[in-house]
């Protein structure tokens, strides 16, 4: 006795053709994956999985907010980080969902494509035996001359695909629905390929560019504050060009709301050739062919001249960053690590370094507190600075922000505050050790994003196809009609004329089909009939 014989329910014929269980498992899994139910569940999961990407800060969107989240939720944040919650759209689980979805999609559309290609070449199917069982049915009395060929001609004129078989005419229309549907789904795959191309072969970097030729920037990896190169891009692949900010024009409404921004730059190659000037603005980036330059933001860089106790002076132009304040209250730090070098010994004392930290207010209020600007333009500019002396901690080799003092040095007492002051342009502040700080004025700076994304053209093309396909898919309607000509029957009440029975079948939801069918039948009935009006009068 074998186990197979223990199962009388299974038909005996199946036993010898029992497939390899592994193959069966694979095939069943594939069927499951490509079923509509699975696709719907995956779509739903995709939507749900995207939600944390909007609720939690994302590294790709705003890395500063992620850092702040780590500070505010020191317990929870590392846990969330482990499951990729701060990089949802690059996380394993999000990728798994959309890759499964796209696999399911491909598995679904490939067989449908094959079927559709077959259907496009196939002839409309033969008429069912009982046309009166179809959703649309009518019998019309026609003259003896009404033959299948004439009916076929009427249908062809109305762009039906027609097949005549003996006394039957089959016709089908609306292949565009499935064509559109397949185009739509195929172009989704193309969009995904475009995204992949962009992330492999694309690169981008952010740069803060202060006005003036001495601050010019050239497109190399080292010059970016932050840059991201796709895995297939090498630093040497970056196109060579340099940018100099010549001018920046910002206009504001009396309320302080910005009205327009425009940056004027000089573009050239590193060797100085191909020099030209160009304008660009928000919404109209500088397109260089090999890369695009986008204007993201702007601000002011105070020029500070520090004269140390030995009388040696250094000038520093320091971009102060805005913290999202519409009136451009900005924060920054000017560090002078090489201050107070003893001219006799030539030795640099690491504990006599100087830094100034504080705010820049384009329009300072008339009275204290001087903590926020009143207007984004420079109507009453002032820096409000605190001076620090001691070890800045720059020599420790630990990377730190150039926009903030190392707070560890302050709390450990290695760096101490030695006073604070508000300075208008041209004013000089003499510190307790006799050294001086002069506020010379400001320069404009802009923040730029420089990008190259080779997948964009493919994505754009795919999106156009996607839309066209979507329209066809949603508004196309597949339907079939059949006409059967019954030869004159002498015994019939109609006498010598033949009977034409017609049936119609909408293959998709089509509320207007009854009307279309009626019109079609009327056209067949009246085809080539000069006395149409007279006949209708009789009826």
Partner 1 sequence: MSAVSDQLVTFAILVYLIAMISHAVEYALGNVRAVSARVAPARELVGAGVGGAGVDKVDGPVADAPAGTPPPTRRSRSAGRARLAGRIAAGLTVLAAALHLGALVTRGIAADRMPWGNMYEFVLTVTWIGTAAWLVVLWKRPALRRLGLFLTLVMVLLLAFAELKLYVPVVPLMPALQSYWFIIHVSTIVFSSGIFLLGVVPAVSFLLRNGYEQGRRSFPYTLARRLPGAADLERLTFALHAFAFPIFTFAVIAGAIWAEAAWGRAWGWDPKETWAFISWVVYAGYLHARATPSVKRNVATWIAVLGFLTVLMNLFGVNFFFTGLHSYAGVE
Cα–Cα distance measured from residue 476 to residue 494, given in angstroms and rounded to the nearest whole number: 39
Q: What CA–CA distance (Å, rounded) separates 294 from 206?
A: 10
Q: Which of 69, 86, 224, 261 binds partner 1 (CB under 8 A)?
A: 261
Structure tokens at 460: 């754009």
Contact 105, 39 (CB under 8 A): yes
Tell me how far apart the alpha carbons of residues 406 and 335 are, in angstroms, rounded to a whole number: 11
Q: Is 323 in the site for partner 1 (CB under 8 A)?
A: no
The Cα 249–Cα 258 span in angstroms is 11
Contact between 225 and partner 1 by CB under 8 A: the answer reads no
39 touching partner 1, by CB under 8 A? yes
In the region spanning residues 186 to 215, those forming contacts with partner 1, defined by CB under 8 A, are 195, 204
User: Judged by CB, which is closer to partner 1: 195, or 440?
Assistant: 195
What does the alpha-carbon distance between residue 524 and residue 14 come to, in Å, rounded to a whole number?
A: 52
Q: Which of 4, 15, 25, 51 binds partner 1 (CB under 8 A)?
A: 51
Q: Is 304 a residue that touches partner 1 (CB under 8 A)?
A: no
Compute the distance between CA of residue 367 and CA of residue 458 in angstroms, rounded to an integer.
57
Q: Taking the alpha carbons of 279, 281, 283, 286 in that order, is the dihedral positive or negative?
A: positive
Instruction: Report if residue 47 touches partner 1, rule: CB under 8 A.
Output: yes
Considering only residues 442-471, where is the footprint of partner 1 by CB under 8 A? 449, 451, 453, 456, 459-460, 463, 466-467, 470-471
State the minimum distance, in angstroms, from the CB of residue 72 to partner 1.
Answer: 15
Which of 212, 258, 400, 454: binder of partner 1 (CB under 8 A)?
258
Cβ of residue 257: shortest distance to partner 1, in angstroms? 6
Q: Are strands 428-430 and 168-173 parallel, antiparallel or unpaired?
A: unpaired
Binding mask 278-297 for partner 1 (x = CB under 8 A): ---xxxxx------x-x-x-
503 neighbors 134 (Cβ within 8 angstroms): yes
Residue closer to partner 1, measured from CB, 107 or 400:
107
CA distances from 458 to 88, 170, 191, 198, 202 (A): 25, 41, 7, 10, 13
Cα distance between residue 58 and residue 536, in whole Å: 72
Helices (H), 56-175: 63-72, 76-82, 92-121, 148-157
Q: Which region, left, alpha or beta, applies to residue 166 given φ > 0 means left and ψ of -120 to 50 means alpha?
A: left
Q: Does 53 bind partner 1 (CB under 8 A)?
A: yes
Among 253, 344, 368, 538, binds partner 1 (CB under 8 A): 253
Closer residue to partner 1 (CB): 177 or 389: 177
Could you say which residues in the range 475-504 bind partner 1, by CB under 8 A? 475
HSE on the CB side for 130, CA within 13 Å? 4
Among 9, 13, 22, 36, binds partner 1 (CB under 8 A): 36
User: Measured from the CB atom, is 162 or 182 closer to partner 1?
Assistant: 182
Nearest approach, Cβ of 282 to partner 1 (angstroms)?
Answer: 5
Q: How far is the CB of 311 from partner 1 (least distance, A)?
A: 46
Q: Tell me if 176 contacts partner 1 by CB under 8 A.
A: no
Contact positions toward partner 1, by CB under 8 A? Answer: 36-37, 39-40, 43-44, 46-47, 50-51, 53-55, 58, 60-61, 88-89, 195, 204, 253, 255, 257-261, 281-285, 292, 294, 296, 449, 451, 453, 456, 459-460, 463, 466-467, 470-471, 474-475, 509, 511
């Amino acid at each position: 006795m074998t186990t197979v014989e223990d199962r009388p329910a299974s038909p005996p014929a199946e036993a010898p053709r029992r497939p390899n269980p592994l193959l069966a498992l694979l095939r069943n899994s594939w069927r499951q994956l490509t079923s509509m139910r699975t696709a719907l569940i995956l779509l739903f999961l995709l939507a749900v999985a995207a939600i944390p990407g909007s609720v939690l800060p994302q590294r790709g969107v705003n890395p500063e907010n992620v850092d702040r989240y780590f500070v505010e939720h020191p317990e929870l944040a590392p846990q969330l980080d482990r499951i990729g919650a701060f990089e949802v759209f690059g996380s394993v689980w999000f990728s798994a969902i959309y890759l499964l979805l796209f696999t399911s999609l491909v598995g679904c559309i490939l067989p449908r494509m094959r079927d559709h290609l077959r259907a496009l070449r196939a002839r409309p199917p033969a008429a069912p035996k009982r046309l009166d069982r179809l959703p649309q049915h009518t019998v019309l009395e026609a003259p003896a001359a009404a033959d299948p060929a004439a009916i076929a001609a009427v249908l062809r004129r109305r762009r039906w695909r027609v097949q005549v078989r003996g006394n039957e005419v089959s016709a089908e229309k609306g292949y565009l629905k499935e064509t559109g549907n397949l185009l739509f789904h195929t172009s989704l795959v193309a969009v995904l390929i475009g995204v992949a191309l962009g992330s492999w072969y694309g690169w981008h970097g952010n740069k803060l560019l202060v006005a003036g030729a001495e601050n010019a920037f050239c497109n190399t990896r080292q010059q970016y504050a932050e840059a991201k190169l796709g895995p297939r891009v090498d630093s040497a692949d970056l196109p060579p060009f340099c940018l100099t900010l010549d001018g920046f024009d910002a206009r504001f409404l009396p309320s302080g709301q910005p009205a327009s921004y425009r940056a004027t730059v000089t573009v050239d190659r590193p060797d100085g050739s191909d020099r030209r000037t160009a304008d660009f603005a928000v919404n109209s980036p500088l397109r260089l062919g090999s890369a695009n330059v986008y204007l993201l933001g702007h601000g002011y860089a105070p020029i500070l001249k520090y004269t140390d106790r030995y009388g040696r002076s250094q000038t520093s132009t320091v971009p102060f960053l805005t913290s999202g304040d519409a009136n451009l209250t900005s924060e920054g730090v000017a560090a002078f690590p090489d201050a107070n070098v003893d001219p006799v010994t030539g030795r640099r004392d690491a504990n006599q370094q100087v830094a100034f930290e504080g705010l820049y207010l384009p329009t300072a209020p008339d009275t204290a507190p001087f903590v926020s600007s009143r207007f984004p333009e420079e109507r009453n500019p002032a820096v409000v600075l605190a001076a620090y002396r001691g070890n800045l901690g720059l020599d420790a080799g630990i990377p730190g922000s150039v926009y903030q003092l190392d707070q560890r040095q302050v709390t450990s007492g290695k760096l101490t505050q030695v006073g604070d002051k508000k300075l208008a342009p041209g004013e000089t502040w003499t510190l307790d050790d006799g050294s001086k700080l002069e506020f010379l004025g400001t320069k404009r700076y802009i923040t730029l994003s420089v990008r190259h994304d080779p997948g964009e053209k493919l994505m754009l093309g795919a999106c156009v196809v996607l839309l066209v396909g979507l329209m066809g898919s949603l508004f196309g309607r597949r339907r079939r009609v059949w006409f059967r000509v019954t030869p004159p029957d002498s015994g019939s009440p109609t006498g010598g004329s033949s009977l034409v029975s017609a049936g119609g079948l909408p293959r998709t939801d089509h509320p207007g089909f009854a009307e279309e069918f009626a019109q079609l039948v009327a056209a067949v009935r009246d085809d080539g009939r000069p006395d149409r009006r007279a006949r209708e009068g009789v009826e």
